[in-house]
A and B are shown apart, each in its own frame.
Chain A
Amino acid sequence: MNDVNEELKVRETTTQSDPGAASIAEDVQVTPRPPVLEVKDLTTYYPINRGLAGRLLGHEAKTVHAVDGVSLRVDAGEFVALVGESGCGKTSTVMTILGATKATSGSVRVKGEEIVGRTPREMLSVYRHLQMIYQDPYGSLDPRFRVSDTVEEPLLVHGVGATKQERRSLVLAALESAGLSPADLYIDRFPHELSGGQRQRVAIATALILEPSLLLADEPVSMLDVSVRASVLNLLDELRRTRDMAIVMVTHDLSTAGHFADRIVVMYLGRIVEEGPAKEVLANPQHPYTKALISVVPKPDPRDRSTPQTLSGETPNPVDIPAGCRFHPRCPIAREECAKSDPRLRLSVKVRIESHRVACHLA
């Protein structure tokens, strides 16, 4: 009880001394460079097929709220990790940014260009700046294509490189920069002649050949062996530094996110529940969901044991989203107000870092 009072007092005093804190954090910061990616109030709903019988019987039309009001800003050269359990909407967010899934509402700007509502043909010009690598390097490469055909394809689509020789030298350069060196050794091979790590490097070379400003990556190393994961991640890290390329990586691995990302964005049921500088979010988490996620990450040192706070159950069905704070049914510290009002993403009263924001009534 004391704790609670003290917390409320702290909150009161901070509000008095710094009344504009929360609103300042929500204003767009003025920086000389425009962001590479700016997402505002993005929603992606999937309709559920009621079937003919359901329609005739007049069943209510239901939708899956996969992404439900996400705002995100990514600057050039920034490495952002989207983390959360399966079904939290992290992959849907990325697929909507890519334009592979239709946004229901909201705005996505890539280098200032609005892409929501574009047709696939109109999206084509955007893909010169926006590329994606997928989770499964065994499934994402065409088994009948040689490495050279796969990596060359974006050049043909976008009409880059006038002659075959020119394109081949671009392919060689892309392979080298993706760490497949000497490139001569790999360019004429088929995917089945490559290891998982090498295939993922081919996928990276394909994504990089147009020198995009933004790379989306969906669990890029989860299918790879531990011994090669680090090299693929180190490669991505180096590329964003040398080319000023921004990366948005979806991962469920908080340790990887903490090591490689500048910023961690934690999602739950289609919403961002906490975001901030990676090390800060991991060392000083504010949202009870983030705290629980961090507590269950297995640690390599057996002496480093904290009691895991396993949450009961799994992410609820995104069809029936709980009222109030969507995390409250699983929250270990939920109070009455949490079932009633939906917390906004705002600056926490307990942390004073402007970029560290949390959506919790009690943080």
Chain B
Amino acid sequence: MISVPLFSVRDLHVWFELPDGRELHAVNGVSFDLHAGEVLGLVGESGCGKTTTILATMGLLPSSADVAGEIRINGEEILHGGEASVRPHRWRDIAMVFQGAMNCFSPVRTVGSQIVEPMKLHGIAKGAEARRRAGELLEMVGIPAASADRFPHEFSGGMRQRAAIAMALACEPKILLADEPTTGLDVMVQAQILELLASLADTLGLAVVLVTHDLPVVAEACSRAAVMYAGRIAELGSVDDLYHDSHHPYTRLLFAATPDLLGDDRVVSIPGSPPRLDREIVGCPFRERCDSAVAECATEEPALHLVGSSHVAACHLNDLIENVRQ
């Protein structure tokens, strides 16, 4: 039996209109599925489209953005109806912890009163009931319920990040999008937050999308991950496949640029920078930085092909190797 995925993104495109009338193709055909209790990583360099992708699924992009594709929650398409069809799902089914959310609490109101706010707004609970739930949510993320009456400045950075997660969970969403939730936190606190996300996915059956630029964080916290480049998915597979059996030079080079704690391998950076997305890209977008490009890469853009069970990659080399085998 094939179950309908809880969260499904199909062929998502986002274009931003620039002031001079040109268009910037920020997200280019991104697709992924997510089941309950799963943690998927979206990883890549700045500007690769990972944050734009998740903002698009929440319908939170500015009006200068054009979005195309399909976004399904439990099989129901929410993108085509515009704001009217996204709105009922936002926060109630799909919620987000924004980058730097821990620094976005109002300093003059208690943390509890700010967690209550989305519940009131969405008619989930109010008054004493809402306050009780706020306490429960805080307990769930590992903060004593009594802290609800304290102000953000009385919380440490790690506690504020936990409170931001509690706030995102206020309306009992099924899908949680977390944008760089550990950036700016210490290694010790980072480990605690990653542990928390994993346990929330496990106990609540929450589907989590973790956006990060940090490959080791993905390896630690996710079961599967999509490596993004120039608005596209370059490779998607289990974290084990990505590390031990990568089928895209970009994934391999990203790992080579990441120092390993006790490894002796030389850490090598990837030369050059990602292509501009406001111009048409001919061929493979990674070609100019790739260490194994072939003639074909300059003319034809590689499509995502299956390279293992639930493992896809967009690289001509895979097809060449396949041809040689046959």
- One digit per residue, 1 when the CB lies within 8 angstroms of any chain A CB and 0 when it does not, for chain B 288-306 equals 0000000000000000000
For A301, give its contact among B187, B221, B243 (CB under 8 Å): B243
- One of B65-73, B101-109, B144-152, B253-261 contacting the partner: B253-261
Q: Is the CB of B220 within 8 A of A225?
A: no
- One digit per residue, 1 when the CB lies within 8 angstroms of any chain B CB and 0 when it does not, for chain A 221-262 equals 000011111111110000000000000000011111011100
Interface size class of A (residues with CB under 8 A): 35 or more
Closest Cβ of chain B to A195, distance in Å, is 6
Task: Say if the beta carbon of A149 comes within 8 Å of chain B.
Answer: no
For B186, give its contact among A85, A228, A231, A259 (CB under 8 Å): A85
The A238-293 residues at the B interface (CB cut-off 8 A) are 252-256, 258-260, 279, 282-283, 292-293
Q: Is the CB of B261 within 8 A of A255?
A: yes
Task: Say if the beta carbon of B74 comes within 8 Å of chain A.
Answer: no
In the bound assembly, the distance between CA atoms of A90 and B276 in angstroms comes to 39
Closest Cβ of chain A to B177, distance in Å, is 20
Q: Is the CB of B259 within 8 A of A296?
A: no
In the bound assembly, the distance between CA atoms of A226 and B250 in angstroms comes to 12
- One of A99-107, A183-191, A302-310 contacting the partner: A302-310
Q: Is the CB of A296 within 8 A of B187?
A: yes
In the bound assembly, the distance between CA atoms of A147 and B311 in angstroms comes to 45
Chain A residues with CB under 8 Å of B326's CB are none
Chain B residues with CB under 8 Å of A253's CB are 187, 259
In the bound assembly, the distance between CA atoms of A279 and B220 in angstroms comes to 23
Q: Is the CB of B260 within 8 A of A299?
A: yes
- One digit per residue, 1 when the CB lies within 8 angstroms of any chain A CB and 0 when it does not, for chain B 270-281 equals 110100000000
Q: Is the CB of A231 within 8 A of B219?
A: no
Closest Cβ of chain B to A13, distance in Å, is 30
Closest Cβ of chain B to A67, distance in Å, is 18
Q: Is the CB of A225 within 8 A of B188?
A: no
Given contacts A226-B257, A303-B240, contact A282 B262 (CB under 8 A): yes
User: Closest chain A residue to B289 by CB distance?
Assistant: A227
Q: Is the CB of A300 within 8 A of B215?
A: yes
Q: Is the CB of B267 within 8 A of A234?
A: yes
Chain B residues with CB under 8 Å of A301's CB are 219, 243-244, 260
- One digit per residue, 1 when the CB lies within 8 angstroms of any chain A CB and 0 when it does not, for chain B 200-234 equals 00000000000001111101110000000000000
For A300, give its contact among B46, B195, B258, B269 (CB under 8 Å): B258
Task: Say if the beta carbon of B158 comes within 8 Å of chain A.
Answer: yes
Interface size class of B (residues with CB under 8 A): 35 or more
Q: Is the CB of A298 within 8 A of B214?
A: yes
Chain B residues with CB under 8 Å of A303's CB are 240, 243-244
Task: Say if the beta carbon of B45 comes within 8 Å of chain A.
Answer: yes
Chain B residues with CB under 8 Å of A225's CB are 45-46, 213
Q: Is the CB of A310 within 8 A of B217?
A: no
In the bound assembly, the distance between CA atoms of A86 and B188 in angstroms comes to 10
Q: Is the CB of A296 within 8 A of B188?
A: yes
What's the dominant secondary structure at chain B's contact region?
A: helix
Chain B residues with CB under 8 Å of A283's CB are 262
Q: Is the CB of B254 within 8 A of A311?
A: no
What's the dominant secondary structure at chain A's contact region?
A: helix
Closest Cβ of chain B to A79, distance in Å, is 14
Chain A residues with CB under 8 Å of B255's CB are 300
Given contacts A255-B259, A314-B156, contact A299 B186 (CB under 8 A): no
Given contacts A254-B261, A300-B258, contact A227 B270 (CB under 8 A): yes
Task: Say if the beta carbon of A353 comes within 8 Å of chain B.
Answer: no
In the bound assembly, the distance between CA atoms of A196 and B194 in angstroms comes to 27
In the bound assembly, the distance between CA atoms of A311 and B262 in angstroms comes to 22
In the bound assembly, the distance between CA atoms of A301 and B215 in angstroms comes to 9
Q: Is the CB of B191 within 8 A of A308?
A: yes
Task: Say if the beta carbon of A123 comes within 8 Å of chain B.
Answer: no
Q: Is the CB of A85 within 8 A of B214?
A: no
Task: Say if the beta carbon of A156 comes within 8 Å of chain B.
Answer: no
Chain A residues with CB under 8 Å of B254's CB are 226-227
Closest Cβ of chain B to A113, distance in Å, is 35
Given contacts A85-B187, A86-B186, contact A299 B273 (CB under 8 A): no
In the bound assembly, the distance between CA atoms of A182 and B260 in angstroms comes to 32
Closest Cβ of chain A to B115, distance in Å, is 21
In the bound assembly, the distance between CA atoms of A355 and B167 in angstroms comes to 48
Task: Say if the beta carbon of A323 comes within 8 Å of chain B.
Answer: no
For A230, give its contact among B186, B192, B216, B267 (CB under 8 Å): B267
Q: Is the CB of B220 within 8 A of A230?
A: no
- Most A Cβ at <10 Å: residue of B194, B214, B259: B259
For A299, give its contact among B45, B261, B267, B270 (CB under 8 Å): B261
In the bound assembly, the distance between CA atoms of A293 and B190 in angstroms comes to 11
Chain A residues with CB under 8 Å of B261's CB are 254-255, 258, 282, 294, 297, 299
- One digit per residue, 1 when the CB lies within 8 angstroms of any chain A CB and 0 when it does not, for chain B 143-165 equals 00000000000001110000000
In the bound assembly, the distance between CA atoms of A26 and B257 in angstroms comes to 38
Chain A residues with CB under 8 Å of B216's CB are 255, 297-300
Q: Is the CB of A296 within 8 A of B190?
A: yes
In the bound assembly, the distance between CA atoms of A298 and B158 in angstroms comes to 17
In the bound assembly, the distance between CA atoms of A296 and B156 in angstroms comes to 19
In the bound assembly, the distance between CA atoms of A254 and B244 in angstroms comes to 23
Q: Is the CB of A227 within 8 A of B257?
A: yes
User: Closest chain B residue to A293 by CB distance?
Assistant: B187
In the bound assembly, the distance between CA atoms of A232 and B216 in angstroms comes to 20
Task: Say if the beta carbon of B320 comes within 8 Å of chain A.
Answer: no
Chain A residues with CB under 8 Å of B134's CB are none
Q: Is the CB of B219 within 8 A of A255?
A: no
Contacts A/B (CB < 8 Å), 9 sampled: A225-B46, A225-B213, A227-B45, A234-B268, A258-B261, A293-B188, A300-B260, A302-B239, A310-B191
Instruction: Supply 11 further A-B pairs (C-beta < 8 A) apart from A258-B261, A296-B187.
Output: A86-B186, A226-B45, A226-B214, A227-B45, A227-B269, A230-B269, A254-B187, A258-B259, A292-B188, A299-B219, A300-B219
Q: Residues of B with Cβ closer than 8 Å to A? A: 45-46, 156-158, 186-192, 194-195, 213-217, 219-221, 239-240, 243-244, 253-255, 257-263, 267-271, 273
User: Which 5 A-B pairs have CB atoms at the shortest separation, nearest pair first?
Assistant: A298-B216, A231-B269, A296-B191, A230-B269, A298-B220
